[in-house]
Structure 1
Amino acid sequence: MAVIPVDIAGRPYEVQVGSGLLPRLAELAGPRLRKRRVPIVTDAHVHKACGAAVEASLAAAGHEAAWRILPPGEATKSWEQLAATVDWLLAEEVERGDHIIALGGGVIGDLTGFAAAILKRGCNFIQVPTTLLAQVDSSVGGKTAINTPAGKNLVGAFHQPALVLADLDALGTLPQRELLAGYAEVVKYGLLGDAPFFDWCVINGAAMLAGDAALREYAVAHSVAAKAAIVKADERETLGLRALLNLGHTFGHALEAQTGFSNRLLHGEGVALGMVLAARFSARRGLIAAADAERIAAHFTDVGMASEIATLGLNCDGQALVAHMLHDKKMDAGTLPFVLLRQIGEAFLAKDVDLGEVATFLDAELSGRR
C-alpha cells in the first residue's frame, strides 16, 4: 500500500492507495467514526458493488451504515440533490465533529464534499473514491461543487477531506468506458509537468488498464503525489500553479455542456478530447511540435478513447462551444486563460488567447478538416 501525505497548512491528511481497503474501512477511519450510525452518501451502482463490504466492515466495529443512495450520473450534481442531501444529513443529526463518508466517483465526492462544507458551517468528510478518475484527481485537493444550467462546477467550495481511501479493488467493478475516462486524468499529470510519466503511460497504460495490479498502484500513487504537490503549493488556485490541473478542461467542459452534461460524453472523455485540442491549438500557435500533439492524440486512440471531436456528431459550430467557455471559472476581468503546452511535460497558463481564433480552430476540428 502507498500512503501519500497532502500537506495542506492546518489541515493535513493522507491518501492511502492499495487493495483491500474497503473491508478495512472502519479500522482505517478509526476514531473519526464517533457514533454508532455512520452517514454514507453513494449512488445505486456503487452501493450494489461495494455496499456489502462497507456494511460488514462497519458492523464488525460496532457501527451501522446510514445510507443515502443517489442516482448515478452527472445530473446528480444539482441544487435539488444538494438540498435533499443536506436535509438528510440534518435528519441524521450529523454534528460538526462527525465524518460523512463519500463512497463513489467524482459526482458523489463533489456533492458530498460540498454538502459537508456548508452543513453547520463545515463538517468533516472522508473520501472513498471508487473510480479511477476520482482516485487520481477529484478526491484529492478539496474542490467540491455542483453544476448549474450555466455550466459545470460553478457553485462550490474548497473543503479538504479528513482522509482519502483509494481501494484499487474497486476499479475491477468499473465498466471499461469508466476506467478509460479516468485514465485521461492519469495522462494529464504527464502532459502538464512530467514528460517521463507520459512516456510511462505510453509504454504501460494498456497493461494498467487491463488490470495489472502493480501498474495500477503506481499510476494512482504517482498521480496523487503529483496533485498533492501542486495543491500544497497553491491550494486555492491563486498563484496560477493549480490552474495547470485544468489542462484539457476548458475545451472539455465546453464539450460536456454542448452534450448536456450527460452520459453521451463522460467527464474524462471530455478531458481527453480537451487535452488533444489544447495540444493541437498549441501547435497552431507554434508552441508545441505538431508531431507531439498528434502523439498525444495517438495514445488516446491506442488505448481505445476518442481523439477527434468530429466523431461526436455535435450540431454546433466553434462559436457555440466558445460561448460555453465564457462561463468558465477561470474567467478573469473578462478574459479567459487557457492551459496550453510548450512541449509534452510543460504546460503554462496563456492569458492572451483570442476567442475568435479558438472558434475558427474548433470549426476546423468539428468538420474533421484540420
Structure 2
Amino acid sequence: MSASTNTDGLPRWATLALLPAINLFAALVVSSLVILAIGQDPVSALAFMVKGAVGSGTGLSYTLYYATSLIFTGLAVAIANHAGLFNIGGEGQAYVGGLGTGLVCLALSGWPWYAVLPVAVLAGALFGAVWGLIPGYLQAYRGSHIVITTIMFNFLASALMVYLLGGPLIEHGQMAPESREFAESTFLPAVKEIAAALGYRTPTLPLNLSLLLALLCAAGVWFLIWHTRWGFQMRTVGANEAAARYAGISARTTIVIAMAISGALAGLVGINELQGVQHRITLNFQAGMGFTGIAVALMGRGHPVGIVLSSLLFGALYQGGAELSFEYNEISPRLVVVIQGVVILFSGALEHMFRPALARLLKPKAPATAGQRA
C-alpha cells in the first residue's frame, strides 16, 4: 500500500502521483470498453457520471457525503497496514462504532448537538477500538491471522446488530428493525442548516459537519505516523518485525495499539451516517464503506492526502453512478460496481503493471562518452 522502494529508479513523485493517474486512466479505458460492449456511448456516459458527481451543488454534496465515510475507513485500513496488518474488518468496526454513537444520541436526548458530538465521537471511537483491539490481541498474543479474525468479527458485528435492533433497541410498536429517532437537538448540522444561517436557501442534502471531523482525522493520522514515536514504531514493525524486536520495540503492543486506533477510526463512520443523516440506528447503515475503504487506502498509497483524494474519487463514483443509472435505463446500477471493481483492480492487484515502462521512460539518459561524441 505504501510506496514501493525505488529500486528501479522511479522518482517518488511519479510513484505517488503519476503512476496512480495512469492506473486510473487505464481503468477508465477498460470501463469505456464495457460500456461500449452493452451498446452505449462511453464518452457521454462517463461525462454524465462526472456531471452527476460534481456538476451541481447537490451532486457535489452527495459526493462529499460518501467521501466522508470513506476517509474514516480508508484511514483505518492505512493505520493497520503501516504496522504490517491487513485489517479487513472495517465494516464490522464501523457497525459497532455506530452502535456506540447511536446509544449516546439516544441517551442524551435534549442535549444540544455541540455537547453530544464529543461524547458521540468518543463512544463511536471506543466501541470501534474494542472491536479492532480484540483481533489485534489475538494476532499478537495467540498467533491468529488478522485477516481471518477481522472477517469473523464482521459477521459477529452483523449478528449483534440484528439481535439488538430486532429486540432491545427496536422502537416500541413497530416492525422495522431500527431504533427510535434521535432527539432533533442532537442532529449534526447539515449543509442546509449551515447555509440557512448564512442567509442561503438550499435543498435538503446529506453533507454535514462530520466532513470536518474526517479531515481532522486525516491530519491526525499524518502527524501520528510520521511525527511521533508511536508512528515510528508502527512503521518499524510493519517494515521488519524481527528488526523492531531487536531494537527494543514491543511488536505485540504495537500491533494491539495499531488495531485499536484502526478500529476507532472506522467507528467514526456512525457520526456521519447516524448522527448526521439517518438520525436513528438502522441495520447495515455502513453500506459496505468498510470494504470500499480497503480500495481507498490502496489507491491512496496509505497516505492521508492520497486517501482523501481517492475517497473523493470513490464518492464521485457512487454519486455519478447513481445519476447514470437514473438517466440511462439500459445501464444497470451494477455497472457502477463493475467500474469500481476495475478501478480497484488497476489500483491494487495491477498497481505496478505500468511501473517498469514508466521507469524506463523517466530514467535519466547517461551522458555520451567522448568516443560517442566523436
- TM-score by length of structure 1 reads 0.26
Structure of larger gyration radius: 2
Higher relative contact order (CA 8 A, sep 6+): 2
Higher percent of residues as strand: 1
